[in-house]
């Protein structure tokens, strides 16, 4: 027995998917494993280099996966962690760099071993599929990343549902090879499925015709059963790109049959080829972001935003983590806005008279806007001499009007409350914004508290990021000198109590256009948003605008209240997904829900989130001693 192989076996047998293999299978892998000894800061592979025909397992130490452009740590792999498998599936070049962040020992396993022993094991294959598709560590590491780029998005395209050919060409088992080839030529296709009662029996591809017919091994007068590959590999209509890639590698094939229930025993509904996977690569989030940079009109940007809506639908249908979905859609929205601003500046007769920053506010600023709702934005420009102020502001008001109108063309409707940068109230110099914030904080009446709840959640989109940072710092400075403001903000956070009546019935709208409908935004989501904002401000924590990220940060800061904060995070995730599903289903904002259309399960799912609202509001009332203010 190979002593080194035995040692490797003793290590790997405790980690999935290796723990799921038979001893003989794992020992066969261990005998062929390559061992890499890495000094600290040594690279195993770098961004842009061709993908090696292997993936890796950390034995000792730690390997960091880094984004090359910013040298940002994306994920940290330690003992037993697998990395490089996604790249192996995708092929091409590495999207991230792998570097030892301490002295490390790494095992490398070839794709041949992977195919021979792991993908052929149902339990191990299922485990890897789950790990490969969800890629939990990678997604979670990006939840707090405010600079998600098209390069990062590329690694997630596999989670889209696969767009397969819906009208597969097929023939019966009695068909002659010659006739099948003529049909393939006539239809300009590279494969034909052999069926019986519309159920797939086998498949013929161009390769079969080249290797079996053109070589003279089999006569073209024989039936298709002579050269067809059988049985076929079938999947259900919900197949993802990741599942398709793994299946094609596992079975060493280039085509998958799509059936009603994913088995060969039901109706053939489609065919998915390697070519289809390549096409899908050209219609994913990273490609959309790249296309945005090349377009020249709001109408072209509108077309891309509509394609992003289809992407959103696929992600929701595939149950992709909502934190990932919000980050992707926010990145696309920001890219669209950035391109539009650049086009609008080109239309101006002169360049901007001073530096400025375009800010998304409200739900856009929190990166929680998934559906096409009305726009909320503001503009801050650098201080100029007093004599130049009016002229400078007028320039940026004109620019903002162009931008707001362009966003309206793209699909983001004009804000009915005029919370837009084209409003002189929200297009100010940095000094004016500081004065504005201080006024709201020192005079916390109902109107000012409402404005704080909107404008305190802003996100830099375009221009001079330093102006945005300075604005944020001014908010905390003003709060520190007037901390009673937090008590008033706390009272404001309690204005929407848990949305159930004494008899545990949903509180619905009593009159107006949405009478008897449930307002999921005002009654369920905003109480969680307001609470997270208040608590993160009280901690003097900057650069955390997203509600989910805020609760995760609070859970770190207050371990004693971790359960409450994580319950709020999970409740908000569920509400955001639920609202998005409703909006996509009814082609609206998803805000107002007709409870009669919900199943009992949906109602219970909604009600389960309301406990978190009550718990966080109880915590706020106690912490800020709000009883004496009420």
Three-state SS for 212?
helix
402 backbone dihedrals φ, ψ, rounded to 5°: -60, -45
pLDDT digits (tens, 9 = 90+) for 457-492: 999 999 999 999 999 999 999 998 888 899 999 988
- Best mean pLDDT range from 431-440, 443-452, 607-616: 431-440
Q: Which of 329, 344, 315 has the alpha carbon at shortest distance from 408?
A: 344
Contact 107, 289 (CB under 8 A): no
User: What pTM value is reported for the model?
Assistant: 0.61
Query: Which pLDDT score, from 0 to 100, does residue 619 have?
Result: 94
- Report residue 35's pLDDT band, with 50, 70 and 90 as the boundaries: very high
Contacts of 159 (CB under 8 A, 6+ apart): 133, 240, 241, 242, 315, 318, 320
Contact yes or no for 208/227 (Cβ under 8 A): yes
Positions of E strands within 412-496: 427-429, 458-463
218: left (phi over 0), alpha (psi -120 to 50) or beta: beta
Q: CA–CA distance from 237 to each of 98, 125, 205, 240, 259 (Å)?
A: 36, 20, 21, 9, 7
Listed range (125-129, 294-298, 476-480, 606-610) with the worst mean pLDDT: 125-129
SS3 content of the chain, % helix, strand, coil (to 5): 50, 15, 30
Model confidence at 453, pLDDT cuts 50, 70, 90, reads confident
Distance CA 157, CA 361 (A): 28
Tens digit of each residue's pLDDT (9 = 90 or more) over 575-592: 999 899 989 988 888 889
pLDDT tens, position by position, 303-325: 999 888 888 887 787 677 788 78
Residue 479, CB half-sphere, CA atoms under 13 Å: how many?
23
Give pLDDT, residue 147.
42
Sheet holding 234-236, edge to edge: 234-236, 255-259, 268-273
Check whether the bond before 97 is cis (ω within 30° of 0).
no
- Compute CA 242 distance to the chain's CA centroid, rounded to the nearest angstrom: 15
At residue 151 the predicted structure's pLDDT band, cuts being 50, 70 and 90, is very low
Rounded distance between C-alpha atoms, residue 565 and residue 39, angstroms = 40
Q: 245 pLDDT exceeds 50? A: yes
In this predicted structure, the answer to whether residue 140 has a pLDDT above a threshold of 70 is no
DSSP letter at 83? E
Mean pLDDT of 363-370: 87
171-183: pLDDT as tens digits: 999 999 999 999 9
B/e letters for 31-68, b = 16+ CB within 10 Å, e = fewer, are eebeeeebeeeeebbebeeebbebbbbbbebbbbbbbe
């Amino acid at each position: 027995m190979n002593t080194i192989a035995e040692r490797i076996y003793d290590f790997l047998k405790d980690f999935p998917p290796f723990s799921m293999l038979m001893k003989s299978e794992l020992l066969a892998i261990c005998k062929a494993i390559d061992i890499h000894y890495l000094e600290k800061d040594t690279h195993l592979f770098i961004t842009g280099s061709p993908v090696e025909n292997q993936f890796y397992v950390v034995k000792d130490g730690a390997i960091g996966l880094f984004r090359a452009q910013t040298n940002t740590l994306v994920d940290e792999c330690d003992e037993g962690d697998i990395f490089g498998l996604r790249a192996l599936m995708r092929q091409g070049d590495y999207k991230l760099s792998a570097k030892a962040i301490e002295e490390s020992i790494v095992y490398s396993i070839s794709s041949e071993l992977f195919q021979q022993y792991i993908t052929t094991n149902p339990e191990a294959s299922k485990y890897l599929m789950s790990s490969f598709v969800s890629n939990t560590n990678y997604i979670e590491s990006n939840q707090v990343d405010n600079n998600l780029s098209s390069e990062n998005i590329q690694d997630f395209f596999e989670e889209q549902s696969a767009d397969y050919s819906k009208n597969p060409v097929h023939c019966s088992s009695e068909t002659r090879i010659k006739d099948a080839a003529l049909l393939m030529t006539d239809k300009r296709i590279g494969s034909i499925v052999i069926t019986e009662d519309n159920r797939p029996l086998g498949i013929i591809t161009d390769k079969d015709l080249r290797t079996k017919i053109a070589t003279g091994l089999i006569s073209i007068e024989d039936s298709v059963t002579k050269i067809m590959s059988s049985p076929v590999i079938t999947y259900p209509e919900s197949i993802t790109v990741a599942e398709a890639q793994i299946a094609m590698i596992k079975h060493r094939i280039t085509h998958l049959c799509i059936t009603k229930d994913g088995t060969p025993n039901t109706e053939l509904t489609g065919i998915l080829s390697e070519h289809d996977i390549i096409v899908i690569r050209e219609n994913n989030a990273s490609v959309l972001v790249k296309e945005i940079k090349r377009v020249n009109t709001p109408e072209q940007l509108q077309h891309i935003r509509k394609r992003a809506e289809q992407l959103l639908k696929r992600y929701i249908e595939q149950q992709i983590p909502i934190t990932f979905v919000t980050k992707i859609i926010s990145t696309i929205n920001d890219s669209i806005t950035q391109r539009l601003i650049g086009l609008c500046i080109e239309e101006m007769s002169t360049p901007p008279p001073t530096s400025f920053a375009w800010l998304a506010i409200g739900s856009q600023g929190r990166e929680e806007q998934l559906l096409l709702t009305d726009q909320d934005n503001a503009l801050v420009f650098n201080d100029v001499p007093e004599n130049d102020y009016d002229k400078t502001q007028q320039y940026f008001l004109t620019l903002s009007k162009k931008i707001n109108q362009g966003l309206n063309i793209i699909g983001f409707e004009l804000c009915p409350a005029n919370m837009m940068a084209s409003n002189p109230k929200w297009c100010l110099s940095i000094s004016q914004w500081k004065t504005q914030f201080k006024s709201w904080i020192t005079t916390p009446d109902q109107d000012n508290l409402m404005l704080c709840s909107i404008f305190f959640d802003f996100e830099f989109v375009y221009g001079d990021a330093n102006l945005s940072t300075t604005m944020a710092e001014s908010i905390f400075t003003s709060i520190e000198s007037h901390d009673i403001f937090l008590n008033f903000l706390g009272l404001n956070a309690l204005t929407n109590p848990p949305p159930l009546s004494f008899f545990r019935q949903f509180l619905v709208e009593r009159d107006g256009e949405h009478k008897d409908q449930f307002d999921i935004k005002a009654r369920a989501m905003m109480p969680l948003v307001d609470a997270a904002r208040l608590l993160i401000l009280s901690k003097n924590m900057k650069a955390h605008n997203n509600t989910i990220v805020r609760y995760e940060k609070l859970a770190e800061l207050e371990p004693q209240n971790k359960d409450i904060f994580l319950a709020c995070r999970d409740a908000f995730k569920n509400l955001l997904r639920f609202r998005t599903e409703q909006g996509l289903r009814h082609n609206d904002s998803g805000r107002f829900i007709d409870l009669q259309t919900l199943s009992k399960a949906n109602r219970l799912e909604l009600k389960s989130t309301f406990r978190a609202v009550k718990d966080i509001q109880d915590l706020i009332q106690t912490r800020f001693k709000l009883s004496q203010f009420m």
